[in-house]
Chain A
Amino acid sequence: MTALEAPVLAPPRTFSERVMRVVNKAPVHIALALVALVWLLPTVGLLITSVRPRSEIQASGWWTVFGGNIDFTIANYQAVLDQQNMLSAFINSVSIVVPSTILPLLIASMAAYGFAWVKFPFRETLFLGVIAMLLIPAQMTFIPLSQLIRETGTGGSFLPIWLIHTAFALPFGIFLLRNFFITLPKDLIEAARIDGAGNVDIFRRIVIPLSVPALASYAIFQFLWTWNDLLMALVFAPRDGQPMTVQITKLLGTYASEWYLLAAASFLVMVVPLIVFFSLQRFFVQGLLAGSVK
């Protein structure tokens, strides 16, 4: 577990406790209130805008609701869901994201186990290769992969975007999970080996159950990454399978900037990540720390 826990090494007399006594905190409170304001206002503004009537959005700012200009409606959401295909875009998002999260979870954890606990030729070379691939920009692959999709006849299906999302998630996943797996107690695994357990058994019965927090972090990252992705979906999603992010950009398109629809649609695309974020915040932050700071 140690790798995923925030490195809280401070003794009971923490830095913050010390400071509390020393500093007059009023300026800090004011500054932090300002920070909270700056980070909340734009999002709150979007939320309020999304429930205001179209004509009001054009005529006045969302903050006028605090001056008594209260006229709320759910018509924007209805319009987005009914006319703008946002409901089917939601289903498309799910159709893209679920396999694109499960596949890399499976494949990366297997590979991470291989890199952590089994010896085989070229292991280190391969692992260095994986680290190097962390940085390959998606743009490097657009042209050849389009060609590959054409040659394999998979254009117009979900298969390409599932596999491409999966492949791009692997370097980070292998890295994160391998670093977690090697911290598992060596004795446990060697004891299992002596008892005659094979790699498959060790992987399934010992490594996976002990690694749930790390796997959860990775799954959440991958889920959010693919849910929020625009670029890959623009290029590789099938024409009748475009997710919500792409659908939103259409509202920004040439023939209209429909702000009342945009506000509602943007809020809809944010809902799922916000739920994930608030309910699984712990794993999310742990994963971030494990991926970034030793």
Chain B
Amino acid sequence: MSDASVAAKPLERGSGMPKMTDGVSWTASLFVAPAVILLGIFLLYPTISTIILSFENGLDNYIRLFTRDPNFFDVRSFPPTGAFWNNVLWVIFYTGGCVFFGLLIAVMAARVRYEAFIKAIVFLPQAIAATALGVIWRFVYFQQPKTGLLNAGLGVFNIDPIAWLGSATWVNTSLIVAGIWGSVGFATVILSAALKGISTEILEAARVDGARESQIFWRILVPMLSLPISVVAVTLIINVVKLFDLIFVMTKGGPGSSSRTIAFTMYQEALASRNFDYGAAVAVVMLVVLLPVMIYNVRRFRAEKVVQ
């Protein structure tokens, strides 16, 4: 879930550090050693090894990925298509949707007595497996209006049933909506907590000056919450880059290849088709996409240390 995105508590500076009164530092390394060994074997070594594998044929895997594999990257039409661009769609709409609805629900819920209840309901999908979430939404998206909730609902308004997961036009929207449904709770809980930290005087003053509620929302709340919003957004973006389960359960990347994501492509190429070096290149693309976030995290950690 939110295994990343973390604002670091600063390290204690040297002066504040407990003095090493009780002997040599190798006892200390014993505390850290198991973790370091496991990370070395299971994360660092495989990462380096996968990077090397992806260059087995020089740059060819990457050239193929970005010039000869329209299922991955196709910019010949507008809007562009392929797994990579689907991920871009996800980043924009899933992240944006989660933050927007998360904030909206947090603000609204703060005004009622049953706030905890609303937040619990919205947060619930966070606890359940993406596998189950996918099944839940496949039931919602059934094409037959007699069994599909959404098309039955649209039928009330005389709208013809839509094959939500079978139409190349609708499939990504449908998946993203299911994804937002699953993750809004995360944004709501975090932003709701941050909201409670905003001084009421500021809001009060704005109201005295005659600001409307929508102005308060966009001009005061959103800017004041920019840090928690960015933290939520970064977490969600990381989720998107790693997105696999939902696609696997709901569409297996189809129809055609129209709902594939980068992570799904890696699974398909390396594991299902045994194109290991090609799949390795896809994994490296995932890593490269995440690299800015990684650098940002490390930088922020360092910066906070200096500020101290």
Contact = CB atoms under 8 A, between A and B. Distances in A.
Interface residues of A, number: 134
B91 interface: no
Interface of B: 1-9, 11-12, 16-23, 25, 27-29, 31-32, 34-36, 38-39, 41-47, 49-50, 53, 105, 108-112, 114-115, 117-118, 120-132, 135-137, 139-140, 146-149, 152, 181, 186, 189-190, 193-200, 203-204, 207, 213, 228, 231-232, 235, 238, 241-242, 244-245, 248-249, 263, 266-267, 270-271, 276, 279-280, 282-284, 286-287, 290, 293-294, 297-298, 301-302
18 contacts: A15-B195, A31-B108, A36-B121, A39-B181, A135-B297, A142-B283, A145-B46, A163-B42, A167-B41, A174-B35, A230-B244, A231-B267, A266-B135, A269-B129, A270-B127, A285-B189, A292-B228, A293-B231
Contacts of A70: none
Contact of B127 (A186, A276, A293): A276
- Say what secondary structure dominates the interface of chain A: helix
Given A133-B44, A164-B42, A110 B4 contact: no
A57 B147 contact: yes
Contact of B149 (A32, A42, A166): A42
B162 to A, nearest CB: 16
Nearest to A228: B129
Interface string A152-167: 0000000000011011
A198 B27 contact: yes
Contacts of B16: 186
B152 A61 contact: yes
Nearest 10 CB-CB pairs, A to B?
A: A167-B42, A114-B31, A228-B129, A141-B46, A111-B35, A118-B28, A144-B46, A277-B127, A144-B49, A114-B32
Contacts, number: 377
A2 B199 CA distance: 19
Contacts of B242: 137-139
Contacts of A256: none
A277 B129 CA distance: 13
**Contact residues of B: prevailing secondary structure:** helix
A107 to B, nearest CB: 5
Nearest to B266: A139
Contacts of A148: 41, 46
Contacts of A127: 11
Given A35-B105, A120-B32, 9 more contacts: A10-B199, A22-B207, A120-B28, A139-B242, A141-B42, A141-B50, A172-B3, A183-B9, A277-B126
